[in-house]
Amino acid sequence: MIDTKTRLLGLIGYPLGHSLSPLLHNQAIEEINLNYVYLAFEVKPADLKKAVNAIRAFGIRGVNVTIPHKERVIPLLDEVEPLARKIGAVNTIVNDQGKLKGYNTDLSGLKRMLEEDASFVLKGKKAVIIGAEDAARAAGFTLCQAEIAEIYLLNRTIKKAEQLAGEWTEYYPEIRIKGGGLSPENYYRELKNSNLLIDTTPVGMSPNTDEFPVVEENALHSGLLVVDLVYNPRETALLKAARRAGAKTLGGIGMLIYQGLESFKLWTGKEAVVENWKKIL
């Protein structure tokens, strides 16, 4: 029941569309019987500063931050966890008595999905990542933090792949990292001796469910774990092809769940039940 002690949690982004976060977090609040409520706030870019001040003024316990505010919110915070600062994006803010601290739970979300849902050990492995925007950035830093041995980053716009690969190399010079174009040749050559493929592009997302990021099905093999961060549909065309090739596969739903669980824990100190969130989704 809502009373004077009820604390507010929320989501800020623009536009918000049909985010599942309110449903998931409010379900966990009810299940653990906590005195919180989670709301979605559409905040236009021009109003971001006012919204961050409102978190302080209203004593909001914490918020998730989504597109387009993940980077621009950083200078407005009092403190940013070192890894979130490194990747340059915050997706969770915790308000401790007026002091706002930023985190990025996408990284721990992806790591937990790989470890818990596929028992995949990143240390010493070789990965190919497709795409060079926010999701790729989070994926690359997750892999580097976990001491992967080698990353080949493929992107349609070559310059962006080279830039992001260069940025990772500055932070992790001991890891072999290269960026290149998303050509069938590069894809085939690099995937042949890789253990992990992470597609971070929106290709294959509903309604374009027949699309592949690269048309080179022969490159997929049984020694691979293939991860597609798209979660709608659950099994993209890429994952179907990977399954046919005997590879292990993971869709993006696990990352979505685990990053949310981590945010929830940062705010409330409690663990929501993974299975219940999986059921809802």
Residues annotated as catalytic (active site), given as ranges = 70
Q: Which stretch binds ligand NAP (CB under 6 A): 52-60, 166-174, 195-203, 261-269?
A: 195-203
Rule CB under 6 A: is residue 47 a binding residue for ligand NAP?
A: no
Tokens 């979130």 -> residue: 84
Tell the burial category of 23 from Cβ atoms under 10 Å away from its Cβ (0-12, 13-18, 19+): middle
Q: Residue 196's beta-bridge partner residues?
A: 127, 225
For ligand NAP, the closer of residues 34 and 90 by Cβ is 90
Tokens 């792949």 -> residue: 161
Rule CB under 6 A: is residue 87 a binding residue for ligand NAP?
A: no
| Window 203-242: residues binding ligand NAP (CB under 6 A) | 203, 205, 213, 229-231
Instruction: Single out the residue of 28, 34, 63, 132 in contact with ligand NAP (rule: CB under 6 A).
Output: 132
| Minimum CB distance to ligand NAP, residue 162 (Å) | 11
Please provide the DSSP assignment of 207-265 as one string: T-TT--SS--GGG--TT-EEEE---SSSS-HHHHHHHHTT-EEE-THHHHHHHHHHHHH
Rule CB under 6 A: is residue 264 a binding residue for ligand NAP?
A: no
Instruction: Single out the residue of 21, 105, 200, 268 in contact with ligand NAP (rule: CB under 6 A).
Output: 200
Rule CB under 6 A: is residue 160 a binding residue for ligand NAP?
A: yes
For ligand NAP, the closer of residues 201 and 249 by Cβ is 201
Tokens 């080949």 -> residue: 152
Q: Which of 72, 66, 70 is nearest to 49 (CA)?
A: 72
